[in-house]
Structure 1
Amino acid sequence: MLLLGHPSVLHLARKPTSGRTTFQRAGQAGDILGRRRMFVTGPGVFATASLLIGLAQSPAWIIGARAAQGVGSAILAPSTLALLQGNFAAGPERTRAVAYYAAAAGISASFGLVLGGVLAEWWSWRVGLARHV
Protein backbone atom coordinates (compact mmCIF):
# COMPACT_ATOMS: atom_id res chain seq x y z
CA MET A 1 0.00 0.00 0.00
CA LEU A 2 1.39 3.39 -0.98
CA LEU A 3 1.20 5.98 1.76
CA LEU A 4 1.54 9.57 0.60
CA GLY A 5 2.86 10.72 3.98
CA HIS A 6 5.56 8.06 4.13
CA PRO A 7 9.14 9.42 3.85
CA SER A 8 10.06 7.06 1.00
CA VAL A 9 7.30 8.60 -1.13
CA LEU A 10 8.06 12.17 -0.12
CA HIS A 11 11.76 12.07 -0.93
CA LEU A 12 11.07 10.75 -4.41
CA ALA A 13 8.72 13.58 -5.24
CA ARG A 14 10.99 16.56 -4.66
CA LYS A 15 14.16 15.87 -6.66
CA PRO A 16 12.75 15.89 -10.23
CA THR A 17 10.80 19.10 -9.64
CA SER A 18 13.72 21.08 -8.24
CA GLY A 19 16.05 19.78 -10.94
CA ARG A 20 13.83 20.81 -13.82
CA THR A 21 13.15 24.26 -12.47
CA THR A 22 16.82 25.09 -11.98
CA PHE A 23 18.22 23.53 -15.15
CA GLN A 24 17.94 26.69 -17.27
CA ARG A 25 19.22 28.99 -14.52
CA ALA A 26 22.19 26.72 -13.92
CA GLY A 27 23.08 26.91 -17.60
CA GLN A 28 22.96 30.69 -17.42
CA ALA A 29 25.09 30.66 -14.28
CA GLY A 30 27.63 28.52 -16.12
CA ASP A 31 27.82 31.14 -18.85
CA ILE A 32 28.32 33.91 -16.30
CA LEU A 33 30.44 32.25 -13.59
CA GLY A 34 32.27 29.71 -15.71
CA ARG A 35 31.39 26.25 -16.91
CA ARG A 36 34.22 24.50 -15.09
CA ARG A 37 33.31 26.16 -11.80
CA MET A 38 29.72 24.99 -12.19
CA PHE A 39 30.91 21.54 -13.27
CA VAL A 40 32.74 21.20 -9.94
CA THR A 41 29.96 22.81 -7.88
CA GLY A 42 27.20 20.47 -9.11
CA PRO A 43 28.63 17.20 -7.78
CA GLY A 44 29.60 18.95 -4.53
CA VAL A 45 26.02 20.08 -3.96
CA PHE A 46 24.72 16.63 -4.94
CA ALA A 47 27.13 14.76 -2.64
CA THR A 48 26.43 17.07 0.30
CA ALA A 49 22.70 16.62 -0.18
CA SER A 50 23.19 12.84 -0.33
CA LEU A 51 25.02 12.94 2.99
CA LEU A 52 22.19 15.01 4.50
CA ILE A 53 19.67 12.43 3.29
CA GLY A 54 21.61 9.68 5.00
CA LEU A 55 21.57 11.69 8.23
CA ALA A 56 17.94 12.84 7.94
CA GLN A 57 15.84 12.78 11.07
CA SER A 58 12.52 13.91 9.60
CA PRO A 59 10.55 13.77 6.35
CA ALA A 60 11.02 17.52 5.89
CA TRP A 61 14.79 17.09 6.04
CA ILE A 62 14.60 14.35 3.41
CA ILE A 63 12.45 16.48 1.12
CA GLY A 64 14.79 19.46 1.45
CA ALA A 65 17.87 17.34 0.78
CA ARG A 66 16.22 15.69 -2.24
CA ALA A 67 15.47 19.16 -3.57
CA ALA A 68 19.14 20.05 -3.08
CA GLN A 69 20.08 16.90 -5.00
CA GLY A 70 17.90 18.11 -7.85
CA VAL A 71 19.69 21.45 -7.80
CA GLY A 72 23.08 19.69 -7.87
CA SER A 73 21.96 17.60 -10.84
CA ALA A 74 20.63 20.67 -12.61
CA ILE A 75 23.96 22.43 -12.14
CA LEU A 76 25.96 19.48 -13.45
CA ALA A 77 24.02 18.57 -16.59
CA PRO A 78 24.20 21.81 -18.60
CA SER A 79 27.81 22.46 -17.62
CA THR A 80 28.82 18.98 -18.78
CA LEU A 81 27.19 19.41 -22.16
CA ALA A 82 28.58 22.94 -22.53
CA LEU A 83 32.10 21.70 -21.78
CA LEU A 84 31.73 18.92 -24.35
CA GLN A 85 30.46 21.38 -26.95
CA GLY A 86 33.29 23.80 -26.22
CA ASN A 87 36.14 21.30 -26.13
CA PHE A 88 35.31 19.27 -29.22
CA ALA A 89 35.16 20.70 -32.72
CA ALA A 90 31.87 20.34 -34.60
CA GLY A 91 31.74 17.12 -36.55
CA PRO A 92 32.29 13.44 -35.86
CA GLU A 93 34.53 14.03 -32.85
CA ARG A 94 31.90 16.11 -31.00
CA THR A 95 29.14 13.71 -32.02
CA ARG A 96 31.13 10.80 -30.61
CA ALA A 97 31.83 12.67 -27.35
CA VAL A 98 28.15 13.56 -26.84
CA ALA A 99 27.12 10.00 -27.72
CA TYR A 100 29.54 8.60 -25.12
CA TYR A 101 28.18 11.08 -22.57
CA ALA A 102 24.58 10.10 -23.34
CA ALA A 103 25.38 6.39 -23.21
CA ALA A 104 27.25 6.72 -19.92
CA ALA A 105 24.44 8.80 -18.42
CA GLY A 106 21.78 6.32 -19.50
CA ILE A 107 23.66 3.26 -18.33
CA SER A 108 24.69 4.78 -15.02
CA ALA A 109 21.16 6.08 -14.34
CA SER A 110 19.71 2.62 -14.95
CA PHE A 111 22.39 0.88 -12.93
CA GLY A 112 22.13 3.48 -10.16
CA LEU A 113 18.39 2.93 -9.75
CA VAL A 114 18.90 -0.82 -9.42
CA LEU A 115 21.86 -0.40 -7.04
CA GLY A 116 19.91 2.05 -4.90
CA GLY A 117 17.00 -0.36 -4.69
CA VAL A 118 19.26 -3.28 -3.77
CA LEU A 119 21.03 -1.26 -1.09
CA ALA A 120 17.73 -0.01 0.30
CA GLU A 121 16.31 -3.54 0.36
CA TRP A 122 19.36 -5.23 1.89
CA TRP A 123 20.44 -2.53 4.35
CA SER A 124 18.43 0.67 4.61
CA TRP A 125 16.90 3.41 2.50
CA ARG A 126 19.56 5.67 4.03
CA VAL A 127 22.34 3.62 2.44
CA GLY A 128 20.47 3.55 -0.87
CA LEU A 129 20.26 7.34 -0.98
CA ALA A 130 23.59 8.17 0.70
CA ARG A 131 25.63 6.05 -1.73
CA HIS A 132 26.57 9.16 -3.72
CA VAL A 133 28.85 10.49 -1.00
Structure 2
Amino acid sequence: MPKFEVIFPNIKGTNQVKYCGSWDGWQKLTQLHFDQIRNIWIKDIELECGQFEIKFLRNTYDWVVTDLLAIRPAYGIEGPANIITVHKKHSDEQTSGTSLTTFPSLRKWHIIDITQASYSI
Protein backbone atom coordinates (compact mmCIF):
# COMPACT_ATOMS: atom_id res chain seq x y z
CA MET A 1 0.00 0.00 0.00
CA PRO A 2 1.28 3.51 -0.74
CA LYS A 3 2.27 5.54 2.30
CA PHE A 4 1.38 9.23 2.54
CA GLU A 5 2.78 11.75 5.00
CA VAL A 6 -0.01 13.91 6.43
CA ILE A 7 1.39 17.24 7.64
CA PHE A 8 -0.36 20.06 9.50
CA PRO A 9 1.47 23.29 10.46
CA ASN A 10 2.04 24.35 14.05
CA ILE A 11 -0.27 27.37 14.04
CA LYS A 12 -0.59 29.45 17.20
CA GLY A 13 -3.35 28.00 19.34
CA THR A 14 -3.21 24.50 17.82
CA ASN A 15 -2.91 21.93 20.59
CA GLN A 16 -4.30 18.86 18.83
CA VAL A 17 -4.84 17.68 15.24
CA LYS A 18 -6.71 14.54 14.13
CA TYR A 19 -8.01 13.25 10.81
CA CYS A 20 -10.57 10.70 9.66
CA GLY A 21 -11.71 9.41 6.31
CA SER A 22 -14.07 7.37 4.22
CA TRP A 23 -11.57 4.47 3.82
CA ASP A 24 -12.85 3.05 7.14
CA GLY A 25 -16.36 4.52 7.13
CA TRP A 26 -15.29 7.56 9.21
CA GLN A 27 -14.90 5.20 12.19
CA LYS A 28 -11.47 6.23 13.50
CA LEU A 29 -10.06 9.64 14.39
CA THR A 30 -6.28 9.40 14.12
CA GLN A 31 -4.04 11.72 16.13
CA LEU A 32 -1.15 13.51 14.42
CA HIS A 33 1.94 13.90 16.62
CA PHE A 34 3.95 17.08 17.02
CA ASP A 35 7.45 17.00 15.53
CA GLN A 36 9.45 19.55 17.55
CA ILE A 37 12.41 19.48 15.17
CA ARG A 38 10.34 20.37 12.08
CA ASN A 39 7.73 22.34 14.10
CA ILE A 40 4.78 20.54 12.42
CA TRP A 41 2.02 18.03 13.20
CA ILE A 42 2.61 14.79 11.28
CA LYS A 43 1.34 11.22 10.73
CA ASP A 44 1.82 8.52 8.08
CA ILE A 45 -1.24 7.01 6.41
CA GLU A 46 -1.47 3.99 4.09
CA LEU A 47 -4.30 3.65 1.57
CA GLU A 48 -5.33 1.06 -1.01
CA CYS A 49 -6.11 2.18 -4.57
CA GLY A 50 -9.37 4.08 -4.84
CA GLN A 51 -10.98 7.44 -4.12
CA PHE A 52 -11.41 8.57 -0.51
CA GLU A 53 -12.66 11.55 1.47
CA ILE A 54 -10.64 13.06 4.34
CA LYS A 55 -11.31 15.73 6.99
CA PHE A 56 -9.11 17.25 9.69
CA LEU A 57 -10.20 18.08 13.24
CA ARG A 58 -8.22 20.88 14.87
CA ASN A 59 -8.46 21.42 18.65
CA THR A 60 -11.41 19.02 19.03
CA TYR A 61 -13.95 21.39 17.46
CA ASP A 62 -12.70 22.90 14.18
CA TRP A 63 -13.32 20.61 11.13
CA VAL A 64 -11.07 21.69 8.26
CA VAL A 65 -11.05 21.08 4.48
CA THR A 66 -8.95 22.69 1.76
CA ASP A 67 -9.60 24.24 -1.63
CA LEU A 68 -6.30 22.91 -3.06
CA LEU A 69 -7.49 19.29 -3.21
CA ALA A 70 -10.71 18.25 -4.86
CA ILE A 71 -13.66 19.03 -2.58
CA ARG A 72 -16.91 17.13 -2.27
CA PRO A 73 -19.39 19.92 -1.54
CA ALA A 74 -21.66 19.88 1.49
CA TYR A 75 -25.00 18.14 1.09
CA GLY A 76 -27.85 17.74 3.57
CA ILE A 77 -26.38 17.88 7.06
CA GLU A 78 -22.98 16.65 5.79
CA GLY A 79 -20.20 19.23 5.54
CA PRO A 80 -17.67 19.29 2.70
CA ALA A 81 -14.72 16.89 2.55
CA ASN A 82 -11.48 16.66 0.58
CA ILE A 83 -10.95 13.89 -1.96
CA ILE A 84 -7.77 11.80 -2.32
CA THR A 85 -7.39 9.49 -5.34
CA VAL A 86 -4.86 6.64 -5.26
CA HIS A 87 -4.03 5.06 -8.66
CA LYS A 88 -2.13 1.95 -9.71
CA LYS A 89 1.09 2.79 -11.50
CA HIS A 90 1.85 1.75 -15.04
CA SER A 91 4.66 -0.80 -15.27
CA ASP A 92 7.09 1.78 -16.73
CA GLU A 93 6.49 4.45 -14.03
CA GLN A 94 8.74 4.99 -11.05
CA THR A 95 7.13 5.05 -7.61
CA SER A 96 7.41 8.32 -5.69
CA GLY A 97 6.15 9.65 -2.37
CA THR A 98 3.28 11.98 -1.65
CA SER A 99 2.83 14.56 1.07
CA LEU A 100 -0.53 15.93 2.13
CA THR A 101 0.56 19.24 3.59
CA THR A 102 -1.56 21.97 5.17
CA PHE A 103 -0.55 25.63 5.17
CA PRO A 104 -2.44 28.62 6.58
CA SER A 105 -3.76 31.42 4.39
CA LEU A 106 -5.79 34.44 5.39
CA ARG A 107 -9.02 32.47 5.73
CA LYS A 108 -8.48 28.74 5.12
CA TRP A 109 -6.18 25.81 5.72
CA HIS A 110 -4.69 24.23 2.61
CA ILE A 111 -3.43 20.80 1.68
CA ILE A 112 -0.81 20.67 -1.05
CA ASP A 113 -0.31 17.27 -2.63
CA ILE A 114 2.95 17.20 -4.56
CA THR A 115 1.57 14.57 -6.93
CA GLN A 116 -1.77 16.33 -7.51
CA ALA A 117 -3.79 14.20 -5.08
CA SER A 118 -2.81 10.99 -6.82
CA TYR A 119 -0.32 8.24 -6.11
CA SER A 120 0.76 5.32 -8.28
CA ILE A 121 1.68 1.91 -6.90
Q: TM-score, normalised by structure 1?
A: 0.27
Q: Compare the two structures and name the one with the higher helix fraction.
A: 1
